[in-house]
Amino acid sequence: MSVLTLLKGNTLVAELQNLTNSVSGDYVPDATVTITLVDGAGDPVVGQTWPAPLSYVAGSNGLYRGILSGAMDIAPGVVYDAVIDAVDNEGSTGRWNMPARCNVRR
């Protein structure tokens, strides 16, 4: 599984790639997609409004992208959980959990 790298004090671009309809296999260009970063206790990280939206990138194959604040209260070496939720216009849902490790840019 991939690990999302968080750089303390830096703005982060978060992405969900290749969102497809599980029945048809078609790329989904019109879903509501959000991300929430939670700590080990399951609490949302302070310094960002959650859930944060990921917007569809026009002309892409199911790519959604959003910006996370560099003001998030995250600590180097700590692993957080990035929770991505998607709901398409037919009501189908998806959830992905990805580990997110905080580092310091050197």
CA atoms of 26 and 6, how far apart (whole Å): 31
Parts of the chain with a pLDDT under 70? 1-2
Other residues' Cβ atoms within 10 Å of the Cβ of residue 62: 19
pLDDT attached to residue 2: 67
Q: What is the pLDDT of residues 30-56, one digit of tens each?
A: 999 999 999 999 999 999 999 999 999
Residues whose CB falls within 8 Å of the CB of residue 61, separated by 6 or more in sequence, listed in order: 18, 27
Q: Percent of the chain having pLDDT more than 70?
A: 98
pLDDT of residue 3: 73
Q: What are the boundaries of each domain within the chain?
A: 4-103
Q: Contact 5/103 with Cβ under 8 angstroms? A: yes
The token pair at 105 is 């840019």
Closest to 48 in 3D by CA, of 63, 67, 30:
67
Q: Please, what is the Cα angle at 48 between 106 and 100, to 5 degrees?
A: 50
Topology classification of domain 4-103: Immunoglobulin-like (2.60.40)
Pairing of strands 64-68, 52-56: antiparallel
pLDDT at 13: 93
